[in-house]
Amino acid sequence: MEKVMSRFMELSTDPYAGVAKWKEDTGKKIIGCFPMRIPEEIVHASGMLPVVMWRGNEAVTLGHSYVHNFNCGLTRSFIDDVMKDKLDFMDGMIFYRSCLQAEEIPSTIELNAPPRHFLYLYLPPLYPGAVFRDFLIQQLKKMKENLEAWAGKEITEDALNNSIEVYNKNRSLLKRLYELRKRKPGTIRAREMLAIVHASMLMDKEEHSKLLGSLLPELEDREEVADGKVRVILSGGLCQTPHTAILDLIEEAGMVVVDDDIYIGSRYFANEVTPGNDPLESLADRYMKKTPPDPTMGDWKTLWSDYMVDKVRENNAKGMVSLLVKFCPPHLCYYPDIKRTFDKEGIPEVMIEVEHEVVSVEQMRTRLQAFVEVIRGGA
């Protein structure tokens, strides 16, 4: 078990080496996909490896000549990595706008250090109206055509259906993992969970499923260690990796994470693709699903705050820790509503603002300890 877990951890903490090695071993192309809604299955079906773009592991330096320091960590870090030639192993990059800052990356990269293959997709919001689904399908067709040109081969319907199956299987395994954590909280640490999901974004899905399949029975055998801990759910980190140090702090403060609503977490594998007559339409239908609510998608009726309240209650959690990425507009705009809703419902919630460059960990520790005391005092 330790070997598999180490593999996931290594890949998550240093994706550069792991992804580059996969390319070297297989001779296949690597395609970076901007988080969170690009259907990776189409890339997979082309025989290339889709990897979800990540926030790097070093402070931004050169990148600040290309992007303002008041952009979020992912935009700054990704541009920094590209300018430092750290992502040369990526043969292609696919972008779309999930927020205003996400829109900053593609042009900055294309104008300064264009990758071998580049695609800017227009992915629509989840507004009511058939026009949005039609437009999405049109864009997915464009994506498929581009990938066929990059891969130098046709993406057949069979290949797409196979990729959908591969991805669905991986999603169901990750779901099992999450169910296990809910049943036996504390058996899987938050940083381990993060590494497992993150690795799924960075490695061949079939290989990940195989490794995760072997890991699951062993994790089942772990003893539950959540006695006396405060059950919480994690939220936020809409498109980027939370710092593992912060996840550790949450646990050290006396909390146990029973579920989450973060992208490198349950949001990544939520919703399987329902196979149908046309695989692109099936992928579009997954994209159009309204839960988990996504504040980047413009759906005003499905309330994210209500969804989180339900998640806390379903998990019998005592509170929620919001990881608000500094300069993340969708979360910033929605957060006041989350706060109000949680106050109204009488559910404790604490917001930790996280930056790419870790700020004072001790201040966070104090806040998290105080949060635990508030919950325990009120219990």
Partner 1 sequence: MVQEFKLNRLETTRLMGPMVDKHWKELRTAKERGEKVAWCSGVPFIFAYAMDMKCHFMAGYSAYCAGRKAGEHVLEIADSTGELPDTCSYHRMHMGMAEAVKRGIPVREDVVLPIPDLMIAGRVCPEMSHYAEALYRKFGIQVAGIELMTPYQESDYEFLEPYLERQFKEILIPTLEEICGKPFDYDHMREILRVLKKTATIRNDCLEYFKKVPSPWTLWDYGVSLAPVIYLMGKPETIPYYEKLRAELEERSKKNIPAILPEEKHRVFWDGWLPWGFLGHFSRKLTSYGANPISGRYPWEMFPRPDLIDPEGDPVHTFVKALYTGTMLGNNMAKPGLSLIDRIIPEYQIDGLIFFTAKSCRIWKSQLTILEKMERKYGIPGLCLEADMADPKMFSDAQIDTRLNAFFEVLEARKEKRRWV
Amino acid identity at 256 = V
261-290 footprint of partner 1 as x/- string (CB under 8 A) = ------------------------------
53-72 footprint of partner 1 as x/- string (CB under 8 A) = ------------xxxx-xx-
Q: How many residues sit in the footprint of partner 1 (CB under 8 A)? A: 52
Among 153, 290, 340, 344, binds partner 1 (CB under 8 A): 340
β-sheet bridge partners, residue 232: 257, 319
Q: Which regions of 174-326 does DSSP assign to beta strands (E)?
A: 230-236, 255-262, 319-325
Among 111, 360, 362, 379, binds partner 1 (CB under 8 A): 111
Give exposure, 192-203, as e/b (b: 16+ Cβ within 10 Å).
bbbbbbbbbbbb
Asked if residue 78 binds partner 1 (CB under 8 A), the reply is: no
Among 59, 298, 359, 376, binds partner 1 (CB under 8 A): 298
Structure tokens at 207: 């290989």
Among 62, 290, 300, 361, binds partner 1 (CB under 8 A): 300
Interface stretch with partner 1, choices 28-36, 145-153, 263-271, 332-340 (CB under 8 A): 332-340
Residue 275 or 298 with smaller CB distance to partner 1: 298
What are the residues whose beta carbons fall under 8 Å from the beta carbon of 1, sequence distance 6 or more? Answer: 215, 218, 219
Among 74, 99, 201, 320, binds partner 1 (CB under 8 A): 99
Classify residue 6 as exposed, middle or buried by CB count within 10 Å of its CB (0-12, 13-18, 19+).
exposed
Distances (CA, A) of 289 to 133, 249, 309, 314, 360: 11, 34, 19, 21, 38
| 39: nearest Cα among 271, 302, 265 | 271
Binding site for partner 1 (CB under 8 A): 65-68, 70-71, 97-101, 103-104, 106-108, 110-112, 120, 122, 124-125, 127-132, 134-135, 138, 295-296, 298-301, 303, 324, 326-327, 329-330, 332-337, 339-340
